[in-house]
């Protein structure tokens, strides 16, 4: 059985081929659709019916039986969820891994416009319930808090790093420490993104906490699915789209009245995963006052992303000051501290934005690492590799010393007008 996205994965990384070949009996009568999520170790596909219409289910591969059991126990702890939302597991042949079927989410809290006081309280009630069931999540962040399709409930997802403690181990210092860490991280992330106060007693049920990035995501419903829009609908009456000569996938945005540049660009197609990582990177660095905005265009989480227009790319600059070199290096370190691995460091992906600050663009191959993943050997290796690559780019392009401190007052002319052009 062949599927449309098989050609997008090649070589040993052709996970889709293995899934489509092994899952036929397990899926029937459903089929695999587009990839709607991708992490450092697994991918998530939407499931579509025989007509190609997305359903309210997704499948994750690879997943372990242990992750399935923890996910199932977590859903059982949430008394409000009907049985139809419970996950199920299919073993993948003779391997220890398998396919985890779960309800589909309409989005996560990282990209939500707002959250109510009752939802904030409900999240902590849900987390306490998990702890009462002996489950420590161990990877609490807003990207792992999902809003289910067809059900307004918020649930915790991704139990790959979770731990289960039997009743006789729940009074131990280890369990109590991990329990408090889960709560502390949830409160921290809610405060960073939605300005939820640290004193939860001050949160009222009818309070509304808005995302500090003011995302303006188009999420009007048609039935249970987000509304599909054109680029012009995404831009609204104030702007119109033009074109840029250097890229078919990027268009410049102009003021509809004056026809002057609005200092914005629109990219297409963008997956929701790429948008979320771009947004996380923007919130981390804050290179300008224009946070990315996402508008759905095709089912499967593909759409337009509108963001600030870069003023200049590194590969077009004729000189670089020591202060700018230090800013670029510090910018990458800060992104790593926020869990963002760019995955495609090149001179043309290092941009100076309109405010004069540097930022990495094009997060198509990027990954988000949780706090736990950043401490693993694999996470440390990825961050180290990118830091070395960045120093090498600066050295090749402007002869900036590859090691050691860089004097802020130094000026480094372009080494070659043709290199990386």
Residues 198-236: tens digit of each pLDDT: 899 999 999 988 776 433 333 333 333 345 567 787 888
- Whole-number percent of the chain with pLDDT over 70: 83
Whether residue 13 is predicted with pLDDT greater than 50 in this model: the reply is no
Q: Looking at the structure, tell me whether residues 125 and 161 fall in a common domain.
A: yes
Q: How far is residue 120's CA from residue 205's CA, in Å, rounded to a whole number? A: 8
Same domain, 281 and 364: no
Average pLDDT of the residues in 125-140: 94
Checking if the pLDDT of 255 tops 70, the result is yes
253 or 85, greater pLDDT:
253
Same domain, 328 and 398: yes
Taking a C-beta distance cutoff of 8 angstroms, is the pair 6, 31 a contact? no
83, 103, 123: which is the final residue of a domain? 103
What pLDDT score does 409 carry? 93
Assigned domain for 419 exists:
no
pLDDT above 90: percentage of residues in the chain? 38
User: Dihedrals φ, ψ of 378, to 5°?
Assistant: -65, -45
Do residues 111 and 203 both lie within one domain?
A: yes
Domain boundary among 285, 308, 331: 308
Contact of 113 with 215, CB cutoff 8 Å: yes
Stretch among 82-96, 120-134, 146-160 having the lowest mean pLDDT: 82-96
Residue at which a domain ends, from 187, 210, 233: 210
Range 254-274 average pLDDT: 87
- Domain containing 343 — which CATH number? 1.10.510.10
Q: What is the pTM of this model?
A: 0.53
Between these two residues, 224 and 396, which has the higher pLDDT value? 396
Q: Are residues 188 and 270 in the same domain?
A: no
Lowest mean pLDDT among 51-65, 211-225, 237-251: 211-225
Q: Are residues 123 and 205 located together in one domain of the fold? A: yes
Whether residues 336 and 273 share a domain: the answer is no
Both 111 and 189 in one domain: the answer is yes
- Indicate if the pLDDT at residue 322 is higher than 80: yes
- When the pLDDT of each residue in the chain is averaged and rounded to a whole number, the result is 82
- Report the pLDDT value the prediction gives residue 334, as an integer from 0 to 100: 94
> Taking a C-beta distance cutoff of 8 angstroms, is the pair 34, 18 a contact?
no
> Would residue 1 count as lying in a domain?
no
Q: What is the pLDDT of residue 272?
A: 78
**Residue 77 structural domain:** 6-103
Q: Give yes or no: residues 190 and 142 share one domain.
A: yes
The answer to whether residues 65 and 118 belong to one domain is no
Residues near 224 by beta carbon (within 8 Å), at least 6 away in sequence? 56, 106, 149, 150
Q: Looking at residue 302, which CATH number applies to its domain?
A: 3.30.200
Position 248 scores a pLDDT of: 55
Q: Does residue 301 sit within a domain?
A: yes
Looking at residue 195, its pLDDT comes to: 83
SS3 235: helix
Q: How many domains does the chain have?
A: 4
Question: Do 11 and 65 belong together in one domain?
Answer: yes
Is a pLDDT exceeding 90 seen at residue 308?
A: yes
61 shares its domain with 96:
yes
């Amino acid at each position: 059985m062949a599927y449309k996205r098989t050609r997008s994965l090649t070589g040993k990384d052709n996970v889709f081929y293995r899934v489509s070949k092994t899952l036929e009996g397990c899926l029937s009568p459903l089929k695999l659709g587009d990839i709607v999520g991708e992490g450092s170790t697994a991918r998530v596909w939407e499931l579509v019916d025989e007509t190609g219409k997305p359903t309210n289910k997704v499948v994750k591969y690879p997943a372990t039986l242990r992750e399935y059991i923890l996910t199932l126990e977590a859903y059982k702890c949430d008394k409000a969820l009907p049985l139809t939302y419970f996950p199920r597991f299919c073993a993948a042949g003779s391997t220890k891994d398998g396919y985890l079927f779960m309800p589909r989410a309409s989005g996560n809290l990282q990209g939500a416009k707002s959250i109510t006081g009752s939802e904030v309280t409900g999240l902590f009630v849900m987390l306490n319930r998990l702890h009462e069931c002996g489950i420590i999540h161990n990877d609490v962040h807003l990207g792992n808090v999902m809003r289910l399709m067809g059900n307004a409930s918020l649930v915790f997802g991704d139990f790959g790093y979770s731990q289960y403690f039997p009743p006789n181990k729940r009074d131990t210092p280890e369990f109590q420490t991990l329990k408090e860490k889960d709560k502390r991280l949830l409160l921290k992330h809610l405060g960073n993104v939605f300005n939820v106060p640290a004193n939860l007693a001050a949160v009222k049920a009818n309070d509304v906490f808005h995302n500090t990035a003011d995302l303006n995501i188009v999420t009007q419903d048609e039935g249970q699915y987000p509304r599909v829009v054109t680029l012009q609908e995404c831009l609204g009456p104030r702007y119109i789209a033009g074109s840029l000569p250097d890229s078919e996938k990027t268009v410049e945005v102009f003021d509809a009245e004056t026809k002057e540049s609005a200092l914005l660009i629109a990219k297409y197609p963008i997956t929701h995963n790429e948008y979320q990582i771009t947004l996380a990177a923007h919130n981390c660095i804050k290179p300008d006052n224009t946070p990315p905005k996402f508008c759905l265009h095709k089912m499967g989480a593909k759409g337009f992303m509108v963001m600030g227009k870069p003023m200049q790319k590194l590969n077009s600059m004729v000189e670089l000051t020591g202060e700018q070199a230090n800013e670029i290096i510090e910018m990458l370190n800060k992104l790593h501290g926020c869990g963002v691995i760019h995955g495609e460091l090149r001179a043309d992906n290092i941009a100076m934005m309109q405010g004069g600050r540097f930022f990495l663009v094009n997060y198509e191959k990027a990954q988000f690492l949780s706090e736990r993943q950043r401490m693993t050997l694999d996470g440390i290796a990825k961050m180290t590799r990118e830091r070395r690559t960045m120093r090498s780019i600066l050295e090749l392009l402007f002869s900036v010393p590859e090691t050691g401190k860089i004097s802020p007052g130094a000026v480094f002319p372009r080494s070659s007008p043709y290199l990386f052009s």
